[in-house]
Amino acid sequence: MTELRRSVTTEDLHAYADGKLPPERAEAVETYLLDHPECAAEVEDYRRINRALGEAFDGVLDEPLPAAQVAVVQSRPRRLTAPLMAAAAGLLLGIGLTWSVQTLGLGSSTALSQIAETSAAAYGVYAPEVRHPVEVGAAETAHLSAWLSNRMGMSFRIPRLGDLGFELVGGRLMMGDRSPAALLMYENAEGRRLVLYVRNDLAPGGAAAPRYARAHDTGVVTWISGETGYGLAGGFSEDELLPAARLVQAQLSS
């Protein structure tokens, strides 16, 4: 463990971001963050996740956990560590969308529903981000493609949406059900963004044509080809999002 984590723990950062530290400890953490901008950025990430959860699922997150999920939580009283925060945020967002799955009009047990939930959640968390929307920017497209290909164990091609007025912002690593997944972000001249979520850990032999649904204010188009599932999400109508999904599908199937 480094000197950094000996003086201020991950738990301190989470509690500070949530406003739950005693005044004396909060003051000490504030002083510490002045000298450690990387931790200050980490705290801001936690706060952004909290805001995204509140804005996207206001009212839903106050509902009681289903009994089955309570049993799982009680049987595994472990504390999540910092490297798992992004996956945890996605899980919480996914739970919120599962409880509101009637908005999507998809069965919560289906792979398409899971993909739609994660895609919409990722859009809600990362699309509003100004400074750090992606891990690898568009200037490093070749590296991004090679990195995601290596982590996902597949040939990962970056679709081009310039014909529709969208340029690549970049991408980041995400989580599927059992293995790494990917998220690409695109932006048009008006600053409107959409994200493409890709996972390749589905059951073999699957196939599903693009279908559109809405989760709160987010449009989502999902489809499946073999073991790979896709979700294209953004604040767009069906008429706007479906052509983009079909363009992505055509490029990735050629």
Return the CA Rg of the chain: 19
Average pLDDT over residues 27-42: 85
Please count the CA atoms within 13 angstroms of the CA of 9 that sit on its side-chain side.
Answer: 8
Overall size of the chain counted in residues: 254
Q: E strands, the chain, where?
A: 136-137, 166-175, 180-188, 193-199, 206-215, 218-226, 228-234
State percent of the chain over pLDDT 70. Answer: 73
Residue 11: predicted pLDDT: 76
Is residue 116 within 8 A of residue 214, CB to CB? The reply is no
Q: What is the model's pLDDT at position 91?
A: 45
Q: Is-contact 120 233, C-beta < 8 A?
A: yes
**pLDDT number for residue 52:** 61
Q: What is the pLDDT of residue 44?
A: 80
C-alpha span between 205 and 63 (Å, rounded): 37
Residues 199-216 have a mean pLDDT of 86
In terms of average pLDDT, the best of 26-35, 94-103, 218-227 is: 218-227
Q: Is the pLDDT score of 121 beyond 70?
A: yes
Segment 233-242 shows an average pLDDT of: 94
Superfamily of domain 106-253: MucB/RseB, C-terminal domain (3.30.200.100)
Contact 208, 250 (CB under 8 A): no
Buried residues in 226-236 as b, exposed as e (16+ CB within 10 A): eebbbbbbbbb
Residue of 74 and 166 predicted with greater confidence:
166
User: For 146-165, what is the mean pLDDT?
Assistant: 94
Q: How confident is the model at residue 37 (pLDDT cuts 50, 70, 90)?
A: confident
| Structure confidence at residue 60 (pLDDT) | 47
The encoded tokens of residue 56 equal: 């996207």
pLDDT score, position 76: 41
pLDDT reading at 140 higher than 50: yes
Pure H helices in 57-199: 67-75, 85-99, 101-104, 111-126, 141-152
Q: pLDDT tens-digit profile of 86-120? A: 444 444 444 444 333 333 333 333 788 889 989 99
In this predicted structure, the answer to whether residue 208 has a pLDDT above a threshold of 70 is yes
| 169 band by pLDDT with thresholds 50, 70 and 90 | very high
